[in-house]
Structure 1
Amino acid sequence: MNHITIAVEALSVYAGATQLLGPITFSLPTGRSLVIMGETGAGKSLLAQAILGTLPDGLHSTGTIHLNGQRIDQLSPQERSRFWGRDVAILPQEPWRALDPLMYAAAQVQESYRFVAGLTRSNAAAATQSDFNALELHGNERRLPRTLSGGMAQRVAFAAATAADAPILIADEPTKGLDTQRSAKIISLLTEKPNQGGALITITHEASVARQLGGDILVLKSGTLIESGSTTEVLNNPSEDYTQQLLNAEPRAWPKQASSSRGDLLLNAENLSIYRGGKCLLEDFSLELYANERIAITGPSGVGKTSLLDVLAGINQPEKGRVTRNSSVIQTGIQKLYQDPPAAFPNKVSLEKSLRDVARLHSVDWSVVLEYLSELGIHPSLMDRRPDAVSGGELQRISIARALTANPTVLLADEPTSRLDPITQRETLAMIADIASERGIAVLLVTHDLDIAEKWADRHYTLHSPL
């Protein structure tokens, strides 16, 4: 008979006297999967943080939490940390927050096997190599996290989080930024947890991921539990309009969009060959980017999509070939939206200060920034917080507002909506398209979603690894 691994009763999260989440009640038995789904900022990650005891400064929770029969909500953070890795493991939404920037990728996974799982050095090394082979990471063992693509870093973080085989796994957006094939591989590995008698909690905004995971589902909106039940039943026959709206907003249901006639040639990339870590990622690649044009770039993780954007932005130089830009495109006129926003924001500075600095630098009135934030669904109250005190989706939209504040001519967008639910994703990309059309901005969008590439862009390139 299954026994309860996690039991949550009337769990709520507050910022001062303001309730952000709850009350939420659920229990999760062994051998079962629970999906938490909802729009960006709905409180999905807050729920996981409250369970683990890792809420950002300034937030606190009420209610009771039992883990394997033991009440843990009254324990100190230090006492709760004893359960991490051994009893409950977390795969965080942002791999760069979980990985040591100064440690090689394989060493981080091996460390989990040695010091959490208790394996010998040789057995830990063998287990790590097995993980790297299974996750298609072979050859990247001695690379630092900052040299990995977002999808690669996500898979390294997955290997490190699951190394000790904790009976309970909490996975926060585990497939974000992954192509279809690698997403399917991660989902297959996740389903092994309940199938082998453990318990799995997965936070996702993708209905396709929820369907594959099965089990039960909680649908959240603005911190409130809207609907719950069997994942299959809820997604096939939702009783709430909001759940149906989430399903209707999936990119495959979007109408085909098109920009108006393109303008002047802004960027011209000719016969580029791009290397990273001694490996050839792209060879003899050419691209022209015109004003008022939207181009999508797709391809498997690690193929060189982000490296291409870095070369186009002038951050890195190609091994061969050249990038020329129209004389009207000044250096700050090329703005890049980073795949992982936390890496692009200073940790110790409030979001308002970060944005005000950009507005001052580009002589933009603060009211314009607030208008961008409003269009992106960001409440001004979030500006008092640091980057780690907002959700990944909120930070992603704030980074878009920051980039637009710089008055770009060319916008290089690296997975700019990967952390957003379908409704917010559709609205955000529509806003970018509208502003780009109004100003004649050229947008180069990197995405793992083929439906977005086909529905949103005027042209679509698929990158392949050189033979």
Structure 2
Amino acid sequence: MSALIEIEQLTIKTADGRPLVTDVSFSIHAGEPFCLVGETGSGKSLVMHALMGSLPDELRCSGQIRYQKENLLALPAAQRRAFWGRRFALLPQEPWLALDPTMTVLDQVAEVLLALEGMPLGQARKLATTELSVLGLGDNLLSYPFELSGGMAQRVSIAMARIAASPLLLADEPTKGLDKALCQTVADLLLTEADAGRGLLVITHDLDLVAALGGRLGVMRDGRLLESGVTEPWLKAPTQPYSRELIAAMPQHWPRPQTKVSAQRSEVVQAQGLSKSFGDRHLFSDLDVTLREGEVTVVLGPSGSGKSTLGNVLTGLLPADAGQLIWPESASPLKYQKIYQDPPAAFIAHQTLRQSFDDLLALHGLEPARLNHLLSELGLAEALLERRPSGISGGELQRLAIARALLLEPVMLFADEATSRLDPVSQKKVIELLLAEVAERGLALLLVTHDPALAERIADQLIRLDQQPTDAAAQQQAA
């Protein structure tokens, strides 16, 4: 079977000649998924954008990317842009940035058909309604992006990419921010695309998605392709040490946590009878929650169920409709910090990260040594601070957001899907750092996640929406 896409010795460099991707070669066949996995910042998304023709102007490409035997790198930019949506459809990593805040969900999906097919508006909206309903968004057709959760926005982007029906679908972290049931739905939809004869390139750190898709995969690290091959045997017996490290770092492979010695811990926030709705949409009611120093509280629930809203209420960022919130009298609002689900929303786009951190250090009289220590603990090079937020990977930006929150030495940290953009190895390092803060400084950690395995390994208190908080250890014994 001839390849739909052939990538040979692809190299991507900065304007000053610094290599970001070096000699990457692989092929994509129609009807067969190909997944690129590896740590955040390894160059996976750069490869995808080189294929799409959407790399930043300051980067330089060499090698070959052949589509139906034609070298795309030799074509003018305008000709390559004409392929967008028609030959290549892109599911971007950051739907928050990709969606138009002034358009409803229905009209954004329908617009794809209007632009590419010249389809009548009524027919386009009918097909868009069907596509969105398949993804569980039938009740959100007239919603705007700012009214959606991160997972819901991700599904809108999936609908826009799928409905174009181009020969090649490029998906950058398609399951980021989705609960397990929706991850399986996305996997099934992607497989449907492959079964229909489309080429499929998936950039992901979700090894469960890799297993569900099958096909072939490549493992990247530091801009190089370490190994590639058929997915199923790789999952059972990877040949490279780094590949084995990736699989071992999945939360379900972490050692079972030891039961903590019970102790009287100070409360950092107490909530009684909390209720919250948005319009006709009810999220939770009569919910009692207490967060204490040195404890990890994990919130589980489907995408769009109100997990982030609960965290925002507990940190004082959003008022409750009903109920009472009690903070210690000495509590400073600065000591209640949040790590946002969409890190680009938390940084100034036109400002270098260095300036952002220098401003923070100066404003609060903090020592630069604390920042350097956190960067080292999070596996981040100091040189990243010289770039703007758009100049680094989503996982790197997320870790910088974590560093910024920890700089203020909070008494409570609300981590909203704080590891959703990270590969398993980076996720494990970040969780270990957060748990060290919990153990050493008495941080109260409130973590929103879609991963039951992660919750099981770290939770002292587990909150499932529409239920009262339960003791995680007791749940494990009952199971």
Question: Which TM bucket (shorter chain)?
Answer: over 0.9
Could you tell me whether the CA contact under 8 Å between 1:268 and 1:287 is conserved in 2? yes
Could you tell me whether the CA contact under 8 Å between 2:271 and 2:288 is conserved in 1? yes
Counterpart residue number, 1:357: 359
The answer to which of 334-343 and 432-441 deviates more is: 432-441
Task: Kindly state the Cα deviation for residue 346 of structure 1 after the two structures are TM-superposed.
Answer: 1.2
Counterpart residue number, 1:461: 463
- Is 2:372 aligned against 1:370? yes
Runs of 5+ unmatched residues, structure 1: none
Could you tell me whether the CA contact under 8 Å between 1:272 and 1:282 is conserved in 2? yes
Alpha carbons of structure 1 residues 148 and 275: separation in structure 2 relative to 1, 3 Å: same
Matches within 5 A, 1:43-122: 43-122=43-122
TM (normalized to structure 2)? 0.94
Paired with 2:363 and 2:373, the residues of 1 have a C-alpha distance of 18
Number of residue pairs the alignment of both structures matches: 465
RMSD: 1.6
Residue identity over aligned pairs, in percent, reads 39
Q: Secondary structure at the match of 2:350?
A: coil
The answer to which of 113-122 and 23-32 deviates more is: 113-122
Per-residue CA deviation, residues 154-204 of structure 1 (Å, 9 max, x unaligned), is 000111112111110011111111111111001100011221111101111
Q: Secondary structure at the match of 2:4?
A: strand
Counterpart residue number, 1:9: 8
Counterpart residue number, 1:255: 255
Per-residue CA deviation, residues 430-464 of structure 1 (Å, 9 max, x unaligned), is 00111232221100000000011010121111124
Runs of 5+ unmatched residues, structure 2: 469-479
Q: What amino acid maps onto 1:348 in structure 2?
A: H
Per-residue CA deviation, residues 62-103 of structure 1 (Å, 9 max, x unaligned), is 111112332211234333111111101110111112111222
Per-residue CA deviation, residues 39-71 of structure 1 (Å, 9 max, x unaligned), is 111111111111112223532221111123322
Could you tell me whether the CA contact under 8 Å between 2:275 and 2:287 is conserved in 1? yes
Could you tell me whether the CA contact under 8 Å between 2:285 and 2:466 is conserved in 1? no
Per-residue CA deviation, residues 365-398 of structure 1 (Å, 9 max, x unaligned), is 1221121111101101111111111111101100
Could you tell me whether the CA contact under 8 Å between 1:56 and 1:388 is conserved in 2? no
Alpha carbons of structure 1 residues 99 and 66: separation in structure 2 relative to 1, 3 Å: same
Paired with 1:137 and 1:263, the residues of 2 have a C-alpha distance of 42
- Is 2:26 aligned against 1:18? no
TM (normalized to structure 1)? 0.96
Alpha carbons of structure 1 residues 230 and 357: separation in structure 2 relative to 1, 3 Å: same
Counterpart residue number, 2:424: 422
Could you tell me whether the CA contact under 8 Å between 1:347 and 1:388 is conserved in 2? yes
> Which of the numbers 386, 393, 404 marks the counterpart of 2:395?
393
Paired with 2:77 and 2:408, the residues of 1 have a C-alpha distance of 40
Q: What amino acid maps onto 1:12 in structure 2?
A: T
Q: What amino acid maps onto 2:338 in structure 1?
A: K
Per-residue CA deviation, residues 123-148 of structure 1 (Å, 9 max, x unaligned), is 11101111121111122112221221
Counterpart residue number, 2:472: none
Per-residue CA deviation, residues 97-122 of structure 1 (Å, 9 max, x unaligned), is 21112221111111112112332111
Counterpart residue number, 2:274: 272
Q: What amino acid maps onto 2:358 in structure 1?
A: R
Paired with 2:170 and 2:106, the residues of 1 have a C-alpha distance of 22
Paired with 2:91 and 2:444, the residues of 1 have a C-alpha distance of 35
Could you tell me whether the CA contact under 8 Å between 1:362 and 1:405 is conserved in 2? no
The answer to which of 129-138 and 67-76 deviates more is: 67-76
Could you tell me whether the CA contact under 8 Å between 1:256 and 1:456 is conserved in 2? no
Q: What amino acid maps onto 1:154 in structure 2?
A: Q
Matches within 5 A, 1:173-188: 173-188=173-188
Counterpart residue number, 2:448: 446
Q: What amino acid maps onto 2:4 in structure 1?
A: T
Alpha carbons of structure 1 residues 296 and 115: separation in structure 2 relative to 1, 3 Å: same
Task: Kindly state the Cα deviation for residue 35 of structure 1 after the two structures are TM-superposed.
Answer: 0.7
